[in-house]
Amino acid sequence: MLGAGSLGCLWAARLARAGVAVQLILRNPARLAAYQRAGGLTLVEHDQARRYAVPGQLTDDASPIQRLLLACKAYDAETAIASIAPRLAPGAELILLQNGLGSQEAVAAQVPQARCIFASSTEGAFRDGTAPEGEWRVVFAGRGHTWLGDSQDDTPPSWLSDLQRSDIPHQWSPDILSRLWRKLALNCAINPLTVLYDCRNGGLSDHATEVATLCAELDQLLQRCGQPAAAANLHADVQQVIQATAANFSSMHQDVALGRRTEIAYLLGHACATAQHQSLVLPHLAALHERLRHYLDARGLPSH
Ligand code: NAP
C-alpha cells in the first residue's frame, strides 16, 4: 500500500483483518519511525477502535512488488510511483484509487510493464488528527462501494476474492472509464460551485440555472469523448445528489476550508483540458475553471 492516508489505511486495515498479507510503504525514515511509534494503524468503525499491526517499509526497500495499491492523492501519484517503479516485478498489478481522471493514464505510461487497474470508490474515510495515534487513526465515515476495471483487458484478477473476504464491497466493472467520467462530471457540476458560493451542497438549489447550464456542457463533453452512458440523465442525477446530500459540504469545499490542496487538475481541470483537446468550446465550464483558479490563488492554494 503506497499512500497510507485515509483511504489507504481503510483498505489496509480491512485486508489485514482478513489475514491478507499487506504492508504499508512509507516515503522516508521519519514517516516510518512515526508509524512504528504509533504501533500500527487504528481503524474506527461503528465507534469501535481497533489497531492493526500492519508492517511498514520504505520506498527503497529491496523486496520486489507484485501487487500495489496506490492510494495517494491524484497530484502525488506520478512522484509516488516513480519512487517504487524499479521494484515492480514483471507482470505486476497496480490498483489506482485516485479520484478524477488524468493521473491514472500518467501512471500507466510510467510503468508499461505493469497491469493498471483503475478504481472508483464511494467509500468515505478521514484521518483523526486529534487522537494520540494522530494520522494513523482512520475513521470509516461512509459505507460505499468500489468499482474496479481495466479498459485494456476485462479479465477480472484472481485476487478479487481477497477483497470479498476482507469485506470490501466491490464490483469488477469493464466500463470503469464510464464510471470515472460520470463521477468526474458530477463533481464538476457540484463541487466548484460549493467552493465559490461557500455553501453546503443544498445551497446550489439557489443556483439551479447555473447548474443546469454546466450539466448541458458536461453532457456535450461526455458525448464527444465517446462516453454517452456517462452522460445519460446527468442533470437529473446532479439534482438528486444535491437534494440527497443537501446538508453536506463537498469534499472540495472541505479541502479549501481546511487550507488543503484540492484535486482540481484531475476534475474540472481535466474536463476543460479534454474539451480543449477535442476543440470543443464550453464557455461556462471554462469560466467556472477560471473563477475557481482565481479563488484558490487568492487563498494561496495550488490552482493546477
Ligand atoms: P490522504 O488522506 O491525503 O492520503 C494520501 C497519502 O498518500 C498520505 O498518507 C501521503 O503521505 C501519501 N503519499 C503521498 N505521496 C507519497 C509518496 N511519494 N510516497 C509515499 N506516500 C505518499 O488522501 P485520501 O483522502 O486517502 O485520498 C486518496 C485518494 O482517494 C484521492 O484521490 C481521493 O480523492 C480518493 N478518495 C478518497 C476518499 C476518502 O474518503 N478519503 C474517498 C474516495 C476517494 P504523507 O502523510 O506522508 O503526506
Q: Quick one: 164 and 224 in the same domain?
A: no
Report the share of the chain in percent with pLDDT over 70.
99
Domain boundary among 135, 157, 174: 174
Tell how far the Cα of 128 is from the centroid of ligand 1, in angstroms.
14
For residue range 232-282, what is the model confidence (pLDDT) as tens digits? 999 999 999 999 999 999 999 999 999 999 999 999 999 999 999 999 999
Model pLDDT, residue 202: 98
Ligand 1 atom at minimal distance to the Cα of residue 8: 26
Q: Which has the closest alpha carbon to 148: 130, 127, 163?
A: 163
pLDDT bucket at 99, cuts 50 / 70 / 90: very high
Tell how far the Cα of 49 is from the centroid of ligand 1, in angstroms.
21
Q: Quick one: 198 and 62 in the same domain?
A: no
Q: Quick one: 183 and 232 in the same domain?
A: yes
Q: Quick one: 87 and 217 in the same domain?
A: no
Active site residues: 183
How large is the angle between the packed helices 283-298 and 208-224, nearest 10 degrees?
110
Residue nearest to ligand 1 atom 36, measured at CA: 99
Q: Cβ(14) to ligand 1 under 6 A?
A: no
Q: Quick one: 206 and 183 in the same domain?
A: yes
Q: Quick one: 78 and 145 in the same domain?
A: yes
Question: What mean pLDDT, rounded, does the chain reach?
Answer: 97
The total of structural domains in the chain comes to: 2
Q: Cβ(121) to ligand 1 under 6 A?
A: yes
In a domain, 220, yes or no: yes
For residue range 171-181, what is the model confidence (pLDDT) as tens digits? 999 999 999 99
Q: Quick one: 38 and 65 in the same domain?
A: yes
Model pLDDT, residue 129: 75
H-run or E-run covering 42: strand 41-45
H-run or E-run covering 146: strand 146-149
CATH number of the domain where residue 73 is located: 3.40.50.720
Domain boundary among 117, 146, 174: 174
pLDDT bucket at 135, cuts 50 / 70 / 90: confident
In a domain, 303, yes or no: no
Model pLDDT, residue 134: 74
Using CA of residue 110, residue 111, residue 116, residue 121, what is the dihedral sign? negative
**Residue among 2, 72, 258, 260 whose CB has most ligand 1 atoms within 8 A, to mutate:** 72
Ligand 1 atom at minimal distance to the Cα of residue 141: 40
For residue range 36-91, what is the model confidence (pLDDT) as tens digits? 999 999 999 999 999 999 999 999 999 999 999 999 999 999 999 999 999 999 99
Residue nearest to ligand 1 atom 4, measured at CA: 5
In a domain, 1, yes or no: no
Residue nearest to ligand 1 atom 25, measured at CA: 6
Q: Quick one: 191 and 79 in the same domain?
A: no
User: 174 in helix, strand or coil?
Assistant: coil
Residue nearest to ligand 1 atom 22, measured at CA: 3
Q: Quick one: 133 and 49 in the same domain?
A: yes
Q: Quick one: 215 and 158 in the same domain?
A: no
Domain boundary among 141, 174, 207: 174
Q: Quick one: 126 and 270 in the same domain?
A: no
User: 207 in helix, strand or coil?
Assistant: helix
Q: Cβ(107) to ligand 1 under 6 A?
A: no
Q: Cβ(27) to ligand 1 under 6 A?
A: yes
Ligand 1 atom at minimal distance to the Cα of residue 122: 43
Q: Quick one: 54 and 161 in the same domain?
A: yes
Tell how far the Cα of 126 is from the centroid of ligand 1, in angstroms.
10
Q: Which has the closest alpha carbon to 25: 54, 55, 48, 59?
A: 59
CB 210 within 8 A of CB 235: no
Show the domain range for 282: 178-298
Q: Cβ(94) to ligand 1 under 6 A?
A: no
CA distance 73 to 135: 16
Q: What is the mean pLDDT of residues 15-28?
A: 97
